[in-house]
């Protein structure tokens, strides 16, 4: 019997985990106010950059005494700037449960070569935070984009820790609650939950992180692009929009447009609710079917943005080839783009459910996942 294709298609088939789908209703006309061809150091450019910082603070609820800077090289730039500038003062603990966290481990162990303990968990699980010594500097990823597993909350991070916490929150910021009092360094890029553009990173520093910057000089040289202090003092300009080098004012405008949309859907709470509702569609679908499961083993740590699923049917002969074929079929049908699992992750799908995704599109996608699954089971035979 021929397998029947679903009648309804997602209006927007973009489910990429980064760059993520743009805000609903996006059009390039929305960027008309970008001060193109003007200096980012002119009053108009500086005002845009400051507005980006101020609105980020407002929506995310970042405390007034935390610094927010726009830095080069997207989230990677922000994380590496922090690690190169702050680590080495004391022992580090590197925590990883998927490939991006593993990348930060490589940075510290193989490049910076400082004393570090590495704690890892397999795809689908998270490291037990109660086993971490927070008197060391701890580097971790809030939401593992490639494993669909996240930190449930900051409860296990002590308020009176002596070390710094450095948190890559790029696929969490704007879609999950972040406990600012437990985070000394937080990073993200615009291309994730807000559907912005790549290239720029955001670095948020607690007063304790600033204190470390002003009182500790790493043993290694720092390129200009990483330097946040001048003569032992924080370069405050960076945190007012005087970027280290030239940003794209088009990307800044795009970020401002996304922030305005974020406010229109109810700010942080509205953004979180949207991601939660999207993820629930996938979770409920997995719970109702015997052949698909969430990659996250514990529902408490299941991501609401990068929802990763695995195929569990015994009839599947080659898991990786099968999952790839399902993703390809969804792409060919034009109903689900870029939702194959990350290259190093277990075979499956990664369905981005961040705040710019419409719940109706996730609902429309799921029958297509079933259709593609059945079609590939048939194709195997």
Ligand X SMILES: Cc1ncc(COP(=O)(O)O)c(C=O)c1O
Residue nearer to ligand X on the CB measure, 48 or 192: 192
Q: Report the residue number, 136 or 191, with the smaller CB distance to ligand X.
A: 191
**Cβ closest to ligand X, residue 74 vs residue 93:** 74
Rounded Cα distance between 179 and 138, Å, is 15
DSSP H helical segments within 111-248, as ranges? 207-215
Which residues, listed in sequence order, are joined to residue 116 by a DSSP beta bridge? 92
Nearest approach, Cβ of 377 to ligand X (angstroms)?
30
Q: Which residues, at least 6 apart from 118, have a Cβ–Cβ distance to it below 8 Å?
A: 93, 94, 95, 96, 105, 109
Q: CB of residue 343 vs ligand X: minimum separation in angstroms?
A: 12
- CA dist 201 and 368 (Å) reads 35
Rounded to a whole number of angstroms, the minimum distance from the CB of residue 338 to ligand X is 12
Chain positions contacting ligand X, by CB under 6 A: 18, 74-76, 100, 141, 145, 168, 170-171, 189, 191, 198
Continuous segment of H or E residues that includes residue 81: helix 74-86
Nearer to ligand X (CB atom), residue 80 or residue 376: 80
Q: At what angle do helices 359-380 and 267-288 cross, to 10 degrees?
A: 30
Cβ nearer to ligand X, comparing 75 with 184: 75
Whole-angstrom distance, CA of residue 56 vs CA of residue 67: 11
Nearest distance from residue 289's CB to ligand X, in Å? 27
SS3 151: coil
At closest approach, how far in Å is the CB of 119 from ligand X? 17
Comparison of 107 and 168: residue with beta carbon closer to ligand X: 168
Selection from 213, 224, 160 nearest residue 185 by Cα: 213
Taking each helix axis as running N to C, give the angle between helix 43-60 and helix 249-264, from 0 to 180 degrees, rounded to the nearest 10. 40
Report the C-alpha dihedral over residues 112, 62, 126, 308, rounded to 10 degrees: -110
The residue with tokens 């001060």 is: 35
For the bound state, the minimum distance from the C-beta of residue 8 to ligand X, rounded and expressed in Å, comes to 29
Whichever of 190 and 373 has its CB closer to ligand X, that residue is 190
**Which tokens hold the place of 18?**
């980064």
Both tokens assigned to 20: 């993520």
Tell me how many degrees the CA angle 334-17-26 measures, rounded to the nearest 5: 70
Least distance to ligand X, CB of residue 189, Å: 4
Among residues 100 and 134, whose Cβ is nearest to ligand X? 100
- What 3-state DSSP class applies to 348? strand
H/E element holding 251? Answer: helix 249-264
Measured from the CB of residue 77, what is the shortest distance to ligand X in angstroms? 7
Q: Which residues of 94-106 are buried (b: 16+ CB within 10 A; e: fewer)?
A: bbbbbbbbbebbe
What is the C-alpha to C-alpha distance for residues 229 and 233, in angstroms, rounded to an integer? Answer: 5
CB closer to ligand X, 171 vs 301: 171
State the minimum distance, in angstroms, from the CB of residue 376 to ligand X.
Answer: 26
């Amino acid at each position: 019997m021929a397998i029947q294709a679903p009648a309804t298609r997602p209006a927007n088939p973009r489910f990429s985990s980064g760059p993520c789908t743009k805000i609903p209703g996006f059009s390039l006309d929305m960027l008309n106010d970008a001060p193109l061809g003007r200096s980012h150091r002119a009053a108009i450019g500086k005002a845009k950059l400051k507005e980006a910082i101020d609105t980020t603070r407002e929506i995310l609820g970042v405390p007034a005494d935390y610094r927010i800077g726009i830095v080069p090289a997207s989230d990677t730039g922000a994380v590496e700037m922090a690690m190169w500038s702050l680590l080495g003062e004391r022992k580090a603990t590197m925590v990883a449960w998927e490939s991006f966290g593993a990348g930060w481990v490589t940075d510290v162990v193989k490049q910076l070569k400082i004393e570090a303990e590495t704690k890892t968990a397999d795809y689908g699980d998270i490291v037990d935070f109660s086993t971490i010594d927070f008197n060391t500097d701890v580097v971790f990823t809030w939401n593992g984009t490639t494993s669909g597993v996240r930190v449930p909350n900051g409860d296990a991070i002590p308020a009176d820790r002596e070390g710094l916490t450095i948190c890559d929150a790029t696929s969490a910021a704007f879609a999950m609650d972040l406990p600012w009092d437990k985070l000394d360094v937080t990073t993200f890029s615009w291309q994730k939950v807000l559907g912005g553009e790549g290239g720029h990173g955001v670095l948020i520093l607690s007063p304790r992180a600033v204190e470390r910057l002003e009182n500790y000089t790493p043993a290694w040289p720092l390129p200009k692009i990483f330097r946040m202090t001048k003569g032992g003092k924080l370069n405050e300009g960076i945190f007012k929009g005087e970027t280290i080098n030239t940003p794209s004012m088009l990307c800044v405008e795009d970020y401002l447009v996304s922030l305005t949309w974020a406010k229109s859907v109810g700010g942080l709470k509205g953004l979180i609710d949207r991601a939660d509702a999207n993820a629930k569609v996938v979770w409920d679908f997995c719970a109702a079917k015997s052949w698909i499961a969430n990659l996250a083993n514990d529902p408490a740590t299941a991501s609401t943005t990068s929802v990763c699923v695995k195929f569990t049917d015994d009839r599947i002969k080659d898991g990786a080839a099968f999952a790839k074929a399902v993703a390809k079929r969804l792409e060919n049908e034009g109903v689900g783009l870029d939702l194959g699992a990350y290259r190093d992750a277990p075979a499956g799908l990664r369905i981005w459910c961040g705040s710019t995704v419409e719940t109706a599109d996730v609902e429309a996608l799921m029958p297509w996942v079933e259709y593609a699954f059945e079609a590939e089971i048939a194709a195997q035979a």
